[in-house]
Amino acid sequence: MRKNIGVVLQDVFLFSGDIRSNIRLSSNISDEEIEKAIDLSYSRDLINELPNGMDEPVRERGSTFSTGQRQLLSFARAIAHNPSILVLDEATANIDTKTELMIQKSIASITKNRTTLIIAHRLSTIRQADNIIVLDKGRIMEMGNHDELLNNGKYYRELYEAQ
């Protein structure tokens, strides 16, 4: 079951090693698949800027990388494993606007033909979702797509206008 689910969390954990091993995670993913995942996650510029590229050392917990860089690598990792279900749990919560835009492009490209659950407070992250479920204290308050909720919803519209 775990092979079918990819998870990108708010707090990314990178392992000591290098970029390639952090994306591969001891699996049989080919270098070609890793390269494709890097492109789909919009991580190519990040990796090209590193002195050693894919062989750049990763220190414990990715301490030499910014939060946004760690998040892009986490997206590449999830994409490389090609899960049928992708869970993004506050994946854009701690990143700058530039990185958020790259991740939004990535989300658009990687969610096609895949079940994706996105948990987010930033409404820009979920704007393109087929179905948005607005929760308040564990209760479903509204459901619909972005346009429906803006036109007919109360809670979502208030959240949207506040952001």
- Which one of the listed residues 90, 100, 142, 148 is annotated catalytic? 90
**Is 158 in the active site?**
no
Residue 141 backbone dihedrals phi, psi, to 5 degrees: -100, -40
User: Which of 132, 158, 162, 134 lies closest to 147 in space, CA to CA?
Assistant: 132
In 10 A of CB 127, how many CB atoms?
A: 15
Residues 70/37, Cβ–Cβ less than 8 Å:
no
| CATH label, 2-129, candidates 3.20.20.210, 3.40.50.300, 1.10.645.10, 3.90.1150.220 | 3.40.50.300
What gap in Å lies between CA 28 and CA 9, rounded to an integer?
A: 23
Q: Which residue type sits at 4? A: N
Per-residue pLDDT of the chain (163 residues; tens, 9 = 90+): 778 898 988 888 898 999 999 999 888 899 999 999 999 888 898 899 999 999 999 988 777 888 888 888 998 999 999 999 999 998 777 777 777 787 788 787 778 788 999 998 888 888 889 999 999 999 999 999 999 999 998 999 998 888 8
* pLDDT of the residue at 72: 87
pTM for this predicted structure: 0.83
Look at residues 99, 102, 92, 20 and name the one whose alpha carbon lies nearest to residue 53.
20
